[in-house]
Amino acid sequence: MLVDLIQNTLDGLTAGAAYALLAIGFTLIFGVLRRINLSYGPAIMLGCYAATWFHVQFQVGLLVLAALTLAATVLAGAYVERLCFAPHRDRSAIAAMVASFAIWMQLEELATLVLPNHLYAFPALYEGGPLSLGPFTLRAEALVMFAVTVLACLALQRLLYRSRFGLSVRAVIDQPVAARLVGINLPWVFVRVFAVASALGAVAGYLIVASAGQVTPMLGMWSTLKGMLAMMLGGLGSLPGAIVGGLALGLIEAHSQWFFGPQVRDLTAYFLLFALLALRPSGLWTTPRHG
Amino acid sequence: MSALLEVKDVVTAYGKIEALKGVSLEVQQGSITCLLGPNGAGKTTLMMSTAGILRPRSGSIQFAGAEIAGAAPHAIVARGIALVPENRLVFPGMTVTENLRAGAYQRADKAEIEAHIERMFARFAPLKARATQLGGTLSGGEQQMLSVARALMSRPRLLLMDEPSLGLAPLIVDEIFRIIAELNKDGTTIFLVEQNAHMALKVANHFYLIEQGKVTFSGDPGSLAEDEVIRRAYLGSARA
């Protein structure tokens, strides 16, 4: 019983690490643009599909695949920004969101047009079996996932608090009018934030498909849902909240699967989100906003 | 003296409602020019149009001989205009020092920026004690000082100030106006929007009255009896 509980916690934290990465990307875009980008996941999916296509055609190595996923996702992200968010900057948030939904469909169609099978094999990160630590088992991929998430969070922290770009991002999140008044070029910040968020999403996406050993077009919807859910659990627009929300989502899923069975796994998360929105709509982890 | 800022026939609208209905005025190099007028007359709209946050529908805004109407705010900052906005708009989640660093966003001279921040702390002593505190935790008067200091960090030739005394205690208001006079003495041209006509007329070289989106009077302090200016600035002549 206790062994199971700990094992579930380990599994939950691993899945949660990926969710946290997805949620951070989502939160960056939401914090800076105050817009929900539904195409966030589909852009990641497209990046993974681009890598898969290269893998199918040329049998390239792991690092090349990772680089391809990153490059293609960032490109897809920039495409989404130019098409959905740049034209609707001062206008309706709904228009931007609906546009991002339309692009979602477009990206999904593109992926299934080029690679029409339902699923494709994706080279695994590690070919050996799971590692055992006493009574617990841990996949090597899980360790990589965890390590990469921690590194990505540290890198992002450095970027946000130690660079001029980070200063501009925090200024835009904090007080957008004042950010423009001190001379920050808003459209340029938006494009770069999209690139950073897409890059984080690509890292998460690559690790997820490499752990699963396969990729399907559903990855797009899956990433958007998990990222959004984790972001909302943590509190809209808070980066530490996104990490907490991601880990919480992973833990909740792992434990509820053990208690109630695999069918209930996703349902619990949605139920929790519903309860949270009803009882504490600002999220679990919110910083008070002044001024 | 020559005009540093020249506003001509500027019309700015929110949807169908014109907040500025053809405003023309000039700010002379080295002056403190004040814009007075009742609530809703279009004072903030003119400031926001000059800073590029709002885009004028028509008319021209020339700064040091170059047209800036409709330019992006960052391009206007680069030319040497900084706005201290109404309600101060400090970055609430950033420290005082970070607020100042953000004010120097377009500058690349890292060492000089840090030295400039130290000079700001010398000039605005209350900020120094709060250097590592978040902007949102400051008092109203401190936030106003921070907002002014942040604007100065871009080393503007023209400082726009929108209601710097709004909501502040009288002692702090005196302090703010002392700072305005000092900045001007150091060579910064100042274009000031004020509700507090009495204080504004004490420091201004020239003033304009704006009522319902139009300039209705301009002159030097003393060219119109002060109580008449104040009456119109608060109430507008139409309703008097």
C-beta pairs of A151-158 under 8 Å, 24+ apart in sequence: A152/A21, A152/A24, A152/A200, A152/A203, A153/A20, A153/A24, A153/A243, A156/A24, A156/A196, A156/A200, A156/A239
C-beta pairs of B124-132 under 8 Å, 24+ apart in sequence: B124/B148, B124/B149, B124/B179, B127/B96, B130/B96, B131/B95, B131/B96, B131/B97, B132/B95, B132/B96, B132/B97
User: How close is the nearest chain A Cα to the Cα of B240, in Å?
Assistant: 35
Percentage of chain A exceeding pLDDT 90 = 44
Put simply, whether A163 touches B (Cβ < 8 Å) is no
Task: For A34-44, write each residue's pLDDT tens digit.
Answer: 888 999 999 99
At the topology level of CATH, where does B3-89+155-235 sit? Rossmann fold (3.40.50)
A213 domain residue, yes or no: yes
In the sheet that holds B214-219, the strands lie side by side as B81-84, B158-162, B189-194, B32-36, B206-211, B214-219
Task: For A261-276, write each residue's pLDDT tens digit.
Answer: 878 877 887 887 788 8
Show Cβ contacts of residue B142 under 8 Å, excluding neighbours closer than 6 positions: B126, B127, B130
The CATH number covering residue A147 comes to: 1.10.3470.10
A117 domain residue, yes or no: yes
Task: For A180-202, write each residue's pLDDT tens digit.
Answer: 999 999 989 999 999 999 999 99
A289 domain residue, yes or no: no
Task: For B70-121, write each residue's pLDDT tens digit.
Answer: 999 999 999 999 999 999 999 999 999 999 999 999 999 999 999 999 999 9
Confidence band, pLDDT 50/70/90 cuts, at residue A278: confident
- Between CA A12 and CA B119 the distance in angstroms is 52
A285 domain residue, yes or no: no
pLDDT at site A290: 38
Task: For A83-103, write each residue's pLDDT tens digit.
Answer: 888 877 667 778 888 888 999
The answer to whether A181 contacts B77, with C-beta atoms less than 8 Å apart, is: yes
Region A167-172 average pLDDT: 95
Put simply, whether B105 touches A (Cβ < 8 Å) is yes
pLDDT at site B236: 62
Longest Cα–Cα distance of chain B, Å, equals 55
A286 domain residue, yes or no: no
Q: Closest CB to B101: pick one of A167, A174, A186.
A: A167
Residue A250 pLDDT > 50: yes
* Lowest model confidence (mean pLDDT) among A211-225, A230-244, B25-39: A230-244
Q: Which domain does A251 fall in, by range?
A: 2-279
pLDDT at site B81: 98
Confidence band, pLDDT 50/70/90 cuts, at residue B1: low
Give chain A's domain count.
1
Residue B239 pLDDT > 50: no
pLDDT at site B145: 94
Put simply, whether B86 touches A (Cβ < 8 Å) is no
A125 domain residue, yes or no: yes
The answer to whether A177 contacts B89, with C-beta atoms less than 8 Å apart, is: yes
Q: Which residues of B touch A174 (CB under 8 A)?
A: 91-94
Residue A291 pLDDT > 50: no
User: How close is the nearest chain B Cα to the Cα of A177, in Å?
Assistant: 8
How buried is A204 (Cβ within 10 angstroms: 0-12 exposed, 13-18 middle, 19+ buried)? buried
A287 domain residue, yes or no: no
pLDDT at site A82: 87
Residue A60 pLDDT > 50: yes
Show Cβ contacts of residue A246 under 8 Å, excluding neighbours closer than 6 positions: A16, A17, A18, A19, A20, A21, A22, A23, A24, A230, A234
Q: Which residues of B touch A179 (CB under 8 A)?
A: 91, 102
pLDDT at site A141: 83
Residue B42 pLDDT > 90: yes
Percentage of chain B exceeding pLDDT 90 = 78
DSSP codes of every residue in chain A: -HHHHHHHHHHHHHHHHHHHHHHHHHHHHHHHH----TTHHHHHHHHHHHHHHHHHHH---HHHHHHHHHHHHHHHHHHHIIIIISTTSSS-HHHHHHHHHHHHHHHHHHHHHHS-SS-EE---S--S--EEETTEEE-HHHHHHHHHHHHHHHHHHHHHHHSHHHHHHHHHHH-HHHHHHTT--HHHHHHHHHHHHHHHHHHHHHHHHHHHTEE-TTHHHHHHHHHHHHHHHH-TT-HHHHHHHHHHHHHHHHHHHHHH-GGGHHHHHHHHHHHHHHH-TT-SS-PPPP-
Q: Which residues of B touch A181 (CB under 8 A)?
A: 51, 53, 73, 77, 82-83, 85, 89, 151
The answer to whether B93 contacts A290, with C-beta atoms less than 8 Å apart, is: yes
